[in-house]
Amino acid sequence: MNKIVLRIIAIITIVIGIVALGITYRTATIKKQQKAYVLVGFPKEQAAGLQKELEYISTEHDYIDRGNAYLKEGKIQEAIEQFNIVLERGKKTAALDFARDGLVDAYEKARDYKTATELLEKIVSKYVLPKGDKWRLADDERILYLKYANEGEYNLAVEHAQKALEADAQLPNRPQGANPPYYQRLNDLKAAKDYILRLKTQ
């Protein structure tokens, strides 16, 4: 009997707690997908502001997802446009970093090594970690191989692309061998051998 009474009291307490806190539930439909945001314990006006912020960030990530999808399909210009939309929106969110990374990938894919280098250097310049730190070593090596590729130094470019792959593989929680993007970049570089060698004569 006591257990039943305690259970009823617990249920009533939970219900009162939920009502007291107030659960604001909002659903945003983006790209015909249901995205639900549950905001607990916020006044109505504050919850509405947070909901709008979540919808904004979600929309930015939709652009990034489309950009990455275009990259996989080889539609580089379309990918660049999607990443640039996020940057042009101008609001400082974590999505900006993903968009900048996406642009580096896109320009590297387009064999515009000069632009890819410049964009990546801007990203790395904001790191608080010193050059040579293991957490940024892969990016440092990537900058080097992009520079060498732009200068037509194919062998040096491949050497440092391999080092970038190996540096990334040393980080925790990496797939055995390294992340697939590093293999793809190394393979793309090798496939661009003739193009890179021609850059040296220009």
Tokens 């580096």, residue?
Answer: 104
Task: Supply 17's token pair.
Answer: 């707690």
Helices 76-89 & 44-72 angle (0-180, nearest 10): 160
Taken in order of first residue, the domains within the chain and their CATH numbers are: 20-110 (1.25.40), 124-202 (1.20.58)
Using the CB atoms, write b or e for 168-177: b if 16+ within 10 Å.
beeeeeeeee
Tokens 């101008």, residue?
Answer: 90
Query: Nearest Cα to 102, choosing from 133, 65, 74, 145?
Result: 65
Give the Cβ contact number of residue 79 at 10 Å: 26
Question: Tens digit of pLDDT for each residue in 166-201?
Answer: 999 999 888 876 788 999 999 999 999 999 999 988
The pTM of this model reads 0.73
Tokens 């990034």, residue?
Answer: 64
Please report, for residues 117, 119, 125, the alpha-carbon distance to residue 87 in angstroms, rounded to integers and kept in the order given. 18, 13, 18
Question: Tens digit of pLDDT for each residue in 100-143?
Answer: 999 999 999 999 999 999 999 999 999 999 988 999 999 999 99
Mean pLDDT of 161-170: 94
Question: Tens digit of pLDDT for each residue in 10-59?
Answer: 445 544 444 343 433 333 333 334 344 444 444 555 555 556 666 767 78
Q: In this predicted structure, what is the pLDDT of residue 92? A: 76
Q: In this predicted structure, what is the pLDDT of residue 11? A: 47
Q: In this predicted structure, what is the pLDDT of residue 201? A: 80
| Contact status, residue 119 vs residue 107, Cβ threshold 8 Å | yes
Look at the chain and count its residues. 202
